[in-house]
Amino acid sequence: MSDHSSQRPATATWAGILLLVEALGMLGVAVWGVFSALTGDPTHIPGGLFLAALAAGAAFFLLQAGRAMLDGRSWSRAAAVVWQVLQIGVAVGTFNGGEGPVWLALLLAALAAVTMTLALRRTVTVWLHREDFAPSDDDEAGQPTP
């Protein structure tokens, strides 16, 4: 394994940073959800708190995916792509359904498109799968030990 393959490419760094930014956004949604549930109509408190808990869970998921992307864990790319597909769906629904401002829908779609493009770059793929081709401690010659 060359030393070059052990260096994190800039595309993976940016993908990880964008995932962490999305985690902060979801944390903001969770805080806003708790605030609006507790200050709004009392009949909507359980539903609002449930949605806030879901947003907090999504923020935790994105935090872990962002950290994993920066650490070079191979599962982080799948997590990033799945989230970006969901985020594009939310952006399209926001834009077409009139549920939110157009600028928010465009921001969500652009952020998802950029993050997905970065996560699917060949440099990221090679870097994330570098441990698949490295010999383990048990098998220095590349062959299983009896």
Domain boundaries, given as residue ranges, for the chain: 9-132
Q: What's this model's pTM, rounded to 2 decimal places?
A: 0.82
Burial of 87 by CB count in 10 Å (0-12 exposed, 13-18 middle, 19+ buried)? buried
- C-alpha distances out from residue 119 to 1, 107, 116, 128, 134, Å: 22, 18, 5, 10, 22
Structure tokens at 90: 């939310």
- pLDDT, mean of residues 137-144: 56
Q: What is the number of other CB atoms lying within 10 angstroms of the CB of residue 57?
A: 12
pLDDT tens, 38-68? 998 888 899 999 999 999 999 999 999 999 9
Question: Which amino acid makes up residue 74?
Answer: S
